Amino acid sequence: MPELPEVETVRRGLAPAMEGVVIAQADVNRPDLRWPFPPDMAARLTGQRVERLRRRSKYILADLSGGETLLVHLGMSGRMLVSGDPLGQFVHDHPAAQKHDHVVLHMENGARITFNDPRRFGAMDLMDTATADDHKLLAVLGPEPLSNDFNEAILVAAFAGRTTPVKSALLDQRIVAGLGNIYVCETLFRAKISPRRKVGNIAATRVAGMVPIIRDVLAEAIEAGGSSLRDFRQADGELGYFQHSFDVYGREGQPCKREGCGGTVARIVQSGRSSFYCRVCQR
């Protein structure tokens, strides 16, 4: 599933073709994805100007001129593709319709935004912009890791006295929003902390030290264009490439990259997810 950097990459790719532009026509080609689409979604989108395109955790949010916000979740295999962009950001002509093109937005500027999702684990919803933060998917989210709401004191307080493994705690969207398996593994490697460690047993100074590391890992991934694991693609069709910079994720059995360590990367399963780490330098 795309994590925060991948979703932010898609948002940035969509913005030139969508922000400030009217949706001339919306085509909704099926009644549902992960759950049913809202009633009359095509009619409610058609004629609306996209005032702002933003991200909350792993969700893309398009604030519309009529006072509603379109929520988009890419799921496991969802892609939002841009074609025919008149601003010259993309070189793709409008492709022929594909089997899994479930929602297509024909923009007034000539661009076409296609949501393609073979597995249909993605989702879309419409909600009032004024109360969007109260939506059931957004209300439970913790602070954004790249915002001022996420800081050392917040993370130290969230970890205090808990017996949860640190890997699981960082994946808890109520503690920090948007982190996923890949970037938690990378964060813990840089912090020299084992994913097995119980958060209540980690010194407050080490917990606090994870905050700038989390920000650095995410910022580097966004800058690199996001990861292109499995079915992920950027909005302009190009692959991301941060996966080439992974220190531990997916590197089971390979030498630790930390100079002078001499260990090898191990993989364990925690709560059904693979954790990659170095047993020698991560304690």
**DSSP string for residues in 34-48:** SSBPPTTHHHHHTT-
Cα–Cα distance, 105 to 28 (Å, whole number):
9
**Quick count: other Cβ atoms within 10 Å of Cβ 279?**
14
Strand partners for 270: 273
Show which residues are catalytic. 2-3, 58, 273
Please state, in angstroms and as integers, the Cα–Cα distance from residue 209 to each residue in 59, 175, 176, following that order.
27, 16, 15
Q: Dihedral of the CA atoms 96, 97, 99, 102 (nearest 10)?
A: 150
**DSSP string for residues in 96-152:** PP-TTEEEEEEETTS-EEEEE-SS---EEEEEEGGGGGGSTTTTT----TTSTT--H
Q: Which residue has the tokens 């295999």?
A: 77
**Quick count: other Cβ atoms within 10 Å of Cβ 142?**
19
Tokens of 240: 């991301």
Quick check: 117 and 75 in contact, CB under 8 A?
yes
Q: Of 268, 249, 247, whose CA–CA distance to 258 is shortest?
A: 247
